[in-house]
Structure 1
Amino acid sequence: MRGPEVPGGLEPRAGPEVLGQAARLASSGLLLQVVFRLITFGLNAFTLRFLSKEIIGIVNVRLTLLYSTVTFLAREAFRRACLSGMRNRNWNQTFNLLWLTVPLGLFWSLFLGWVWSQILEVPDPNVVPNYGVGVAAFGLSAVVELLGEPFWVLAQTHMLVRLKLLYTTVLVFCYVIHFMKLMNSQELTKKSLPISRMTDLLPHITLNGTFVNWKEAKLTWSFFQQSFLKQILTEGERYVMTFLNVLNFGDQGVYDIVNNLGSLVARLVFQPVEESFYIFFAKVLERGKSVKLQKQEDIAMAAAVLESLLKLVLLIGLTITVFGYSYSQLALDIYGGSMLSTGSGPVLLRCYCLYVLLLAVNGVTECFTFASMSKEEVDRHNFIMLALSFTFLLSSYFLTKWQGSVGFIFANCFNMGIRIAQSIRYIYRYYRESPHRPLAGLLPSPFLIVVFVLSGVVTGISEVFLCCERGWPARLLHIIVGALCLGATLVTVFFTETKLIFFIRTQFLPKYTQKKT
């Protein structure tokens, strides 16, 4: 006999509580991201001295693409659909739906593994040994990670902010151990978890005879179509590299290293914020409903949070763009030596800094958009994503033929700009009938813009006269000039963007705020 089903599950929390927990989730995710990324950053800097560009290209581009494609296609749609706030949710049906990610992931792993091994160009075994073993290992890792999906969704939905974990096998065991502990604690009742024993998480036929919630399943299918298209947009350059062979393995390796270095802040800061506040918007806003038909205090809170988030990522992106231009070559030389700091590396990283700005804004705007869209709006948006996907692939191919690896970044910037425009249009129309204007977060103060321009000019002149062939004394002076300009920029932000500073202090630094009060 199974335990009684819990039809309702999680009741919607009060807006401020959800906001606070989303901020803590983002903060904890940010902290762990920093720790793990710094470790990876150091290991990569070490291994770059000993590995060839060809091996780096195969592992970081082709095999990583296999892993990300399997996990993305198998789980992204399920995550988005099952994180949406449903008041009358049958959690047994939701768990049944989530377990479908495992056979789906196994299918994609076997099919794509065959493509990677038999259809694509196999590298020279003398240059890249054990390619087949690598394909099997990356595919198996993706399937193992999918075993933790029911735990992940349950933890995210109930805002278990202290539950942030490692990858693959450790990920699954950590979830199992954590929820086994919850079964024997008072927190089970406090968190209103819809389970009473671990077996409730396993797939089974519910009392009313239905296996899954078909409304959830249809929403999942809509998100699956969207996820497929979004994956093409997100990993498009790797698909072009892998299937069209526009770059050799060595050039792919250099591009991927620069891509990882350039997107470091995006993965450290933007991704945890997007994931956490997607949950916030999905819980506070009622999907598909007009602004007038929802609680006005929730609408106001969502608008204020969206405005602050837009301002936060915009300023971070502008800082990376302005200072990244003058410090790209120095960063690459320190990170990977002459292999990266000569040739196309510095140009790639400078262009990527601009792309990071667009990436930051797009992440937050789409975070809100996908959390508030109805199923019909998601379906319509899929057609736009389809057109963007084809446009991106074509532009990537032709721009790369014309400009080399820099063409990938130009194509990404073009498509990201279109995606931002689509999301901004949706947000404007969403809040058009209300007094709230969250898009004001995309307008920094004029004085701050002047400071950014001056910082860019000063650091650009510093690079010409102090970096990077003039030895370390000159390089240190160049770094000092950048530090002074960055300090002046941060001080200006503190005094001109007071609303943003208040948001950060109250939501991301609550302990500091309590001490002050």
Structure 2
Amino acid sequence: MSPPPKPQEASSPPQSASMIKGASLLIILQLASRLITFVANQLLLRYLTAPLLGLSTQLEVYYLSVLFFARESLRVAIQRQGSVGSTTKGSDAARVESQAVVNLGYLAIALGSVVSLVLGWMYLAFPSGAAVSTPYLVESLYLYGLAAMVELLSEPCFVLMQMRLQFGTRAAAESIATFLRCIVVFGSAVWASTQQTDIGVLPFALGQMTYGASLLLVYLISGYQLASKIGFSILPKAVSTKDGRFWGSYFDRQTMSLAGSMMAQSVVKHLLTQGDTFLVSLLATAEVQGAYALANNYGGLLARLLFQPVEESSRSYFSRLLLSPTAGDGEKQSSKPSPAVNEAKQNLGTLLRLYILLSSIIINIGPFAAPPLLAIVAGKRWIGSGAGDVLAAYCFYIPFLALNGLTESFVASVATEAEVHQQSGWMGAFSVAFAASAFLFMWVFPLGAIGLVLANIINMACRIVWSGAFIKRYFKKHGVDFEIKTLLPEGSVTFSLATAILLKQLKVLDSAEDQPIKSLIKVAASAVPLLLLILFFERRFILECLHSIRGRKAAKQ
């Protein structure tokens, strides 16, 4: 087996700037769509009970599971095969590569049709008590499955846009789809309330169907325009080459091999990611499920809004910068690091330090601000359900969630097939640790949803340690020393701890339910000095980040 080739010498400044611009565009437009969703959810909470919210979360997990198992490993593998929009390729090569990517996208549709049927049957075969008594449950499940398949129909065009760095298309599609979903969900819920009709979770199912159809329409329009311009088809079409690269003249052998290797890891990873919902449905009442679902929705808002676009853009960026093969024997590379490796180390270190800096603020302010904020936006009824305490605990989980997402994005960008198999084995071990922790905290020590948050923290901590060790080995193999201790902000942790102690002494949470505004004022007053101190002690690092962004913009111009 041949050793992995060295990473390419460097990414061009325009490419780096394109990645930054793409991530920024995704963040800005997703911010707008998330704000719309947030407002709609606040209005919707007035018409929901905790058991209904918990049941809607179960159906959403079914929907996300179909999408994840059908497309995640293919998406990662396709990103690893390189950009199809390079100006160094001729028009014929660009046409072949574009058609190859489109063909691979149709595999997700085939996989999704099987997964949706299997998971749907399993859900109906083992329903929970709350699910049995909910009206229109079966119809809602069918709509969720159909919505997943409709969204998967857009996958060929999606992977094409992703490979050509067309971030604007994705941002527009998701923004339009999110806006229309909010209208349908809220409108149908209000209609049912005015008609005094109990339709269960049917509004969520109708909204998800609208979301999938909107995505499909936008991607089909963009994909058809691009296909007409370059000269390929958005339908499956045979690709002829002399090197036997394609299986059956349709699918890239190397990409399919890597996707197959990642499939087992994807299953374990998804079970770990959505395992909290599975376990809370088994070990908790419907009311506890609803409280956890609300805390998860609010607590995960920052992760979905900011961290997810950064992680996806980083995965694309590092995949191209450190273009790796799908297999290798891990032999030691040249002792002299390439410019691309140095650039990767610098950018990864910067992102990790920014994440840690932001995390120090979240774990300091979040637990004290969460209960009064929830009392304002969701009402005191939800505070009484325990959702405020769960959301406060969730704030400690967010930093682990963010760091794990970024480190695993880097691993997915550069890992060989052998390393992917190794990671899958460790993922299995971490899943056992997660299940044991959840059982301990939720059953032996009945902490309810808070216990599930603690189990999630243990799970993420294990995965971060493994990814961190992998990153150190990777850079050491390429002649670069990646020091974890250099990522720690100067003094930020100390000031965060001091501020948290101050807020505890002020007994902010004692008046969170009755006087939420007063509690938030206390939190804000203590947060201002903390932010000023962090800006002062981290001024050099922040200025370096700003100069780096300006330099890339100038290079692009």
TM-score by length of 2: 0.81
- Report the Cα distance in structure 2 between the residues aligned to 1:13 and 1:114, rounded to whole angstroms: 49
State how far apart, in whole Å, the 2-side matches of 1:159 and 1:469 are. Answer: 47
* Match status 1:202 vs 2:235: yes
Answer whether contact 2:360 2:493 (CA < 8 A) is retained.
Answer: no
Whether 1:396 aligns to 2:411 is no
CA contact (8 A) 2:50 2:290 kept: yes
Partner of 2:177: none
Deviation, structure 1 residue 503: 5.4
- 1:38-117 aligned at under 5 Å gives the runs 38-60=35-57, 62-86=58-82, 90-117=97-124
Contact 1:80–1:220, Cα closer than 8 Å, also in 2: yes
The Cα of 1:470 is off from its aligned counterpart by 5.3
Aligned partner of 2:417: which letter? K
Note the C-alpha offset of 1:274. 0.3
Superposed CA offset, 1:120-179 (max 9, x none): 236366x52110111001111111111111211121122113222224111122122223
Do the aligned residues in 2 keep the contact of 1:274 with 1:364 (CA within 8 Å)? yes
Q: CA deviation at 1:114?
A: 1.4
Name the residue aligned to 1:250.
287
Separation in 2, partners of 1:205, 1:122? 50
Preserved contact between residue 55 and residue 131 of structure 2 (Cα < 8 Å): no
RMSD: 2.7
CA distance in 2, matches of 1:441, 1:227: 31
- In the alignment, which of 204, 207, 216 is matched to residue 255 of structure 2? 216
Per the alignment, do residues 251 and 226 of structure 1 end up closer, same or farther by CA in structure 2, a change over 3 Å counting?
same
- For each residue in 1:2-34, what CA deviation from the matched residue of structure 2 results, as whole angstroms up to 9, or x when unmatched? xxxxxxxxx998343222111111111111221
Instruction: Name the residue aligned to 1:468.
Output: 512
What is the letter of the counterpart of residue 115 of structure 1? M
Q: Which amino acid aligns with 1:497?
A: E
Give the unaligned 5+ runs of structure 2: 1-7, 84-92, 175-210, 242-247
Q: Counterpart in 1 of 2:428?
A: 386
1:86 CA drift (Å): 4.0
Task: Answer yes or no: is the 8 Å Cα contact 2:380–2:513 preserved in 1.
Answer: no
The separation in 2 between residues aligned to 1:12 and 1:69, in whole angstroms, is 38
| 2:501 is the counterpart of 1:501 | no
- Does the C-alpha gap of structure 1 residues 331 and 494 become closer, same or farther in structure 2, counting only changes over 3 Å? same
Distance in 1, matches of 2:526 and 2:267, equals 42
Structure 1's 124 and 483: CA in aligned 2 closer, same or farther, altered over 3 A? closer
1:175-199: per-residue Cα shift (whole Å, max 9, x none)? Answer: 2222333456xxx6xxxxxx424x2
CA separation of 1:222 and 1:503: change in aligned 2, threshold 3 A = farther
> SS of 2:462's equivalent?
helix
Q: Which secondary structure state, in structure 1, belongs to the residue aligned with residue 283 of structure 2?
A: coil
Q: What is the rounded CA distance, in whole Å, between the counterparts of 1:508 and 1:50 in structure 2?
A: 45
Partners in 2 of 1:296 and 1:377 — Cα distance?
22
Match of 1:3 in 2: none
Within the candidate set 146, 151, 161, 1:140 is matched to 146
Partner Cα distance (1:281, 1:397) in 2: 38
- Scaled by the length of structure 1, the TM-score of the pair is 0.87
In the alignment, the residues of structure 1 paired with residue 284 and residue 105 of structure 2 have an alpha-carbon distance, to the nearest angstrom, of: 38
1:278 paired to 2:315? yes
Cα distance in 2 for residues equivalent to 1:196 and 1:295: 40
Q: Tell me the equivalent position of 1:444.
A: 489
Corresponding residue SS for 1:218: helix
1:481 to 519, 522, 534: 522
**In structure 2, how many angstroms separate the alpha carbons of the residues matched to 1:215 and 1:344?**
50
Separation of aligned partners in 2, 1:321 and 1:263: 14
Residues 311-357 of structure 1: CA deviation (Å, up to 9, x unaligned)? 11112222111101212221221122223223532331222111111
Residues 1:202 and 1:506: Cα distance change in structure 2 (over 3 Å): farther
The SS at the match of 1:458 is helix
Deviation at 1:117, TM superposition (A): 1.7
- The superposition leaves residues 451-488 of structure 1 with CA deviations (integer Å, 9 ceiling, x where unpaired) of 2122212222334487325536xx33x43332233333
| Separation of aligned partners in 1, 2:12 and 2:540 | 19
> 2:153 and 2:335 mapped to 1: Cα distance?
39
- Residue type at the aligned position of 2:524: A
Higher mean alpha-carbon deviation, 14-23 vs 142-151, is at 14-23
CA distance in 2, matches of 1:421, 1:367: 14
- Taking the aligned partners of 1:183 and 1:205, their CA distance within structure 2 comes to 15
Question: 1:226-262 deviations in whole A, cap 9, x for unaligned?
Answer: 11010011000112234xx211222111111011111
Deviation digits for residues 77-103 of structure 1 (CA, Å, limit 9, x no counterpart): 000000114489844333322201112
Structure 2 CA distance for partners of 1:101 and 1:122, relative to 1, 3 Å: farther
Q: Deviations over 1:481-511 (max 9, x none)?
A: 3223333333333333245424543566789
Q: 1:414 is matched with which residue?
A: 458
Q: Provide closer, same or farther for how the CA distance between residues 466 and 249 of structure 1 changes in structure 2, counting only shifts above 3 A.
A: closer
Per-residue deviation, residues 23-66 of structure 1 (Å, max 9, x unmatched)? 11111111122112112212222222221111111112x10111
Which residue is 2:185 aligned to?
A: none
Aligned partners of 1:123 and 1:131 also within 8 Å:
no
**Quick one: structure 1 residues 441 and 78, their matched pair in 2 at CA, closer, same or farther if it must change by over 3 Å?**
farther
Matched to 1:213, the amino acid is: D
Moved more, 161-170 or 300-309: 161-170
Identity %: 28
The residue type equivalent to 1:100 in the other structure is L
Asked whether 1:429 is paired with 2:460, we answer no
More deviation in 500-509 or 266-275? Answer: 500-509
| Structure-2 residue corresponding to 1:336 | 378
Corresponding position of 1:157: 163
Q: How many residues align?
A: 485
Whichever residue aligns with residue 37 of structure 1, its letter is R
Amino acid at match of 2:341: I
Partner of 1:180: 224
Which amino acid in the other structure matches residue 376 of structure 2?
A: I
Q: Would the aligned equivalents of 1:93 and 1:211 in 2 still touch at CA under 8 Å? A: yes
Structure 1 residue 367 corresponds to structure 2 residue 379: no
Cα 1:117/1:330, change in 2 over 3 Å: same
1:422 to 1:298, Cα distance in 2 relative to 1, 3 A = same
Q: Distance in 2 between matches of 1:145 and 1:249?
A: 29
Give the residue type in structure 2 aligned to 1:120. P
